[in-house]
Structure formats: C-alpha cells, structure tokens
C-alpha cells in the first residue's frame, strides 16, 4: 500500500534513475557536451584558427590543452569542434527521425502494397555503405558541412522507419484508434494525432544513436582530409596531429578523448532510454 504513495514523495524517480545508471550517466554527460558546445565561444573566445602563443606549448594554466604547431590554442579548437559535432549530430538525428517516422508510419498504417514498397526501399537504404557514400558525395560535390549532413540524413533513417512501423502495427489496432476511425476521422489525422505520438519513445532512442554515428563519420572524413576546411572539427585536429604524435602528445589525446566521450555519452543515453522503455513494458 505504501508503494502507491512513492511517486508523490519524489523518491520513485530517484529510484528509477538509480536502477538505470546508463540513463543517468549518459544524460549527464550528454548535457555537459551540449553545454560545452553552446558555450564554447564564451569559455574560450577568439578565432580557433588564430595563433594564441608559441608553437608546441605543453598543457599549462595559460593553455590547458597546449598549443599546436602554429601556436593555436587547442582548448579553443576543441570547444569549437564540439559545436561542429553537435550541429552534425543534431541535424542528422532530427532529419532521420522525421523521415523514419514518415516512412514507417505510412507503411505500418496503410499496409498492403504500400507497406511492401516502402519496406523494400527501406531495406535498400539500410544496406548502403554510409561512410563510403558520404566520402564519394563530399569528393564530388565539395567538402561542406551541408553536403555531409544531407547524405547522412538521407541514409540514416532506415532503422528508425522499421522501429516506427513495428510500433504503428501495434498501436493502430488499439481501442482509441478504432474509436477515432468510427467517429469518421481521416487517416492522416489519426496517424498524426493518435498513432505516431504513441510510438515516439522507442523511435527517439534509435534516433539518439544516429547522433553518435554522425559524429564518428564527420570526424573520420575530416581526419582523412575531406572535412569542411573553413571549420575546426575534432577530425581536423586529429589530422593535423598526425605528424607530431611523438613531439606533442596533447595534439591527438584531447581531440580523441573528446570524440570518445561524446559518442560514449550519447550511446549511454540511447541505451538508457531503451532500457527505461523496456522496464515500463513498452
């Protein structure tokens, strides 16, 4: 009987967070990553391409991450690179979430030939080698952030569509959806107002995984020299550090650690969201 009063005391949410450490740790780390990306210009103001001291200064109080071969402050560059990674990850996640919900929702709700056609197209998208396709697109149309986001967004929605379709197939047979149909509700209206909002939770968890994947692809392309030359990214910093690994260890350690922590935090958050849904019986 006492368990019924736990939500009112505020203890149950803390117990749920303790029972799901991935959600707690991943959420905290992801929030920190987002704040650093948004406040990078305030925490380390100035042009990341501009020299801030002598070349190859080791980490110190004046330059916590040291300087590179041109005297540029590495902390400033890492914080500006976080913004690039956040833009790429967020744009790809939102785009893939929108496309996946649209394709999966229509396929699951309409069924029949429409479902078969959309799912075969989804399977085609799933087998595309995203990294090599992004490499080809950037090489042919230019190394810009917009081109990278576009190709990743158009090739990352497949798994989200399949998850959305599975949820729609279950939700569309529930009583409130059948009641909306009986009252004469139009198909698109029912799908948007009654079906898709109830399959959003599992889809968001998979969309969060696309953020980490997009960050890795952008860093890989920049490391290979195919990134936007007008922007400082973590991959660009690692590319620049290749020739100085033995002389200046900090040039590769700090950008590499930033990539690892960012992707790890987002993956932990996604796993926590999926674990929470499973615990709730979703």
> Model confidence over 99-120: pLDDT tens digits?
999 999 899 888 889 999 999 9
The percent of the chain in helix, strand and coil, each rounded to the nearest 5, is 75, 0, 25
Helix (H, G, I), strand (E, B) or coil at 59: coil
**CA separation for the pair 165, 106 (Å, rounded):** 8
Query: Is position 264 within any domain?
Result: yes
Give the domain range for residue 197: 22-40+67-279
Q: pLDDT at residue 15 above 80?
A: no
| CATH number of the domain bearing residue 212 | 1.10.3720.10
Q: Is residue 194 part of a domain?
A: yes
Token couple for 164: 């959305």
- Residue 48 forms part of a structural domain: no
Residue 175 lies in a domain: yes
Give residue-wise pLDDT tens across range 133-170.
888 888 888 888 888 899 999 999 999 999 999 988 88
Is 79's pLDDT higher than 90? yes
DSSP, collapsed to helix, strand or coil, labels residue 51 as strand
Tally of domains within the chain: 1
φ, ψ at 168 (rounded to 5°): -65, -40
Q: Is pLDDT above 70 for 127?
A: yes
DSSP 124-168: HHHTS-HHHHHHHHHHHH-S-HHHHHHHHHHHS-HHHHHHHHHHH
15 occurs within a structural domain: no
- Whether 62 is in a domain gets the answer no
Is residue 213 situated within a structural domain? yes
Nearest to 44 by CA among 76, 66, 74, 68: 76
On whether residue 2 sits in a domain, the answer given is: no
């Amino acid at each position: 009987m006492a368990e019924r009063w736990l939500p009112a005391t505020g203890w149950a949410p803390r117990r749920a967070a303790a029972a799901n450490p991935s959600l707690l740790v991943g959420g905290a780390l992801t929030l920190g990553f987002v704040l650093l990306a948004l406040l990078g210009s305030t925490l380390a103001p100035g042009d990341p391409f501009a020299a801030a001291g002598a070349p190859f200064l080791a980490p110190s109080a004046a330059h916590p991450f040291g300087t590179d071969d041109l005297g540029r402050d590495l902390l400033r560059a890492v914080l500006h690179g976080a913004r690039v990674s956040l833009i790429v990850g967020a744009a790809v996640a939102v785009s893939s979430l929108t496309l996946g919900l649209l394709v999966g929702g229509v396929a699951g709700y309409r069924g029949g030939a429409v479902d078969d056609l959309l799912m075969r197209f989804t399977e085609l998208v799933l087998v595309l080698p995203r990294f090599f396709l992004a490499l080809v697109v950037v090489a042919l149309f230019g190394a810009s952030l917009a081109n990278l986001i576009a190709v990743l967004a158009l090739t990352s929605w497949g798994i989200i569509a399949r998850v959305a379709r599975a949820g729609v197939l279950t939700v569309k047979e529930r009583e409130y959806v059948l009641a909306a149909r009986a009252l004469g509700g139009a198909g698109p209206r029912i799908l948007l107002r009654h079906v898709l909002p109830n399959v959003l939770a599992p889809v968001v968890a998979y969309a969060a995984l696309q953020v980490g994947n997009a960050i890795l692809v952008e860093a890989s392309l920049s490391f290979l020299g195919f990134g936007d030359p007008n922007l400082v990214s973590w991959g660009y910093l690692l590319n620049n550090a290749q020739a100085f690994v033995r002389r200046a260890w900090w040039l590769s350690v700090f950008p590499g650690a930033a990539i690892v922590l960012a992707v790890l935090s987002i993956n932990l958050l996604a796993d926590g969201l999926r674990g929470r849904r499973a615990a709730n019986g979703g």
